[in-house]
Amino acid sequence: MAVSDDFDRQIRRALPELEEIRDDDLRERVVEAWTLALERGGWREIEDVPYAWNIHEVTNVEHVRGVARIALETADRQREFHGAEPDTDTVVAACLLHDVGKCYEYPDHVDDDLLDEPDPRYVSEEIPHSISGYALAHEVGCPLAVQRAIPHFLGEVPKRTLEAELVKSANAASSNAITQATMGLTLQEWVEKYSQTS
């Protein structure tokens, strides 16, 4: 069995929110970006990628799924209360890809038995995962609207769209819940405590 076939099955099983993407081509591009990230990162299982370098109780999969669910709910409320029309395909694709770059960033923070051979051309903590995630989305040909919604730190993109704001705020909500539940810290406290290491 080819590695990419195995990853294809793992990704589709682990990320049921893929089915929320109506555009078949975009859905396949999201799967392709995850496949490349897992292969290059040397991962054996998508579920082994941690949420954070020092938080292994929650997986990256759980986090990106949570971000997608929060963003979808928020988009529904924006439509209901404000008449806004965020593009759901863009929102879901960007949510599922916003932390795919952790596949490159975190191999040094897990036990070696979870990995095969990480590719040193890609694996590094030097490039923030939001930027490598953007690069993966660009490489596989995701639309610009998806690409520009992936960088979720302030200052990474010059102009934020409604979809990008949905991803950013859903990410913050999920991340705050995770750091509070696992470490008793707000996300900001976690960043302040560990910024020199992360």
Distances (CA, A) of 99 to 57, 85, 133, 137, 153: 17, 24, 6, 11, 12
Which residues form the domain of 47? 3-194
Report the domain count for the chain.
Answer: 1
- DSSP-based three-state secondary structure for 83: coil
- Mean pLDDT throughout 58-83? 98
Q: Taking the model in full, what pTM does it have? A: 0.94
pLDDT at position 186 is 93
Predicted confidence (pLDDT) at residue 185 exceeds the cutoff of 80:
yes
Q: What is the CATH number of the domain that holds 27?
A: 1.10.3210
Q: How does residue 197 score in pLDDT terms, banded at 50, 70 and 90?
A: very low
pLDDT per residue as tens digits for the range 21-39? 999 999 999 999 999 999 9
Per-residue pLDDT, 2? 57
Separation in Å, CA 45 to CA 30, 57, 74: 17, 16, 30
| Beta strand segments in the chain, E | 50-52, 55-59
Say if residue 20's pLDDT is above 60. yes
Q: How many CA atoms lie within 13 A of 186 on its CB side?
A: 3
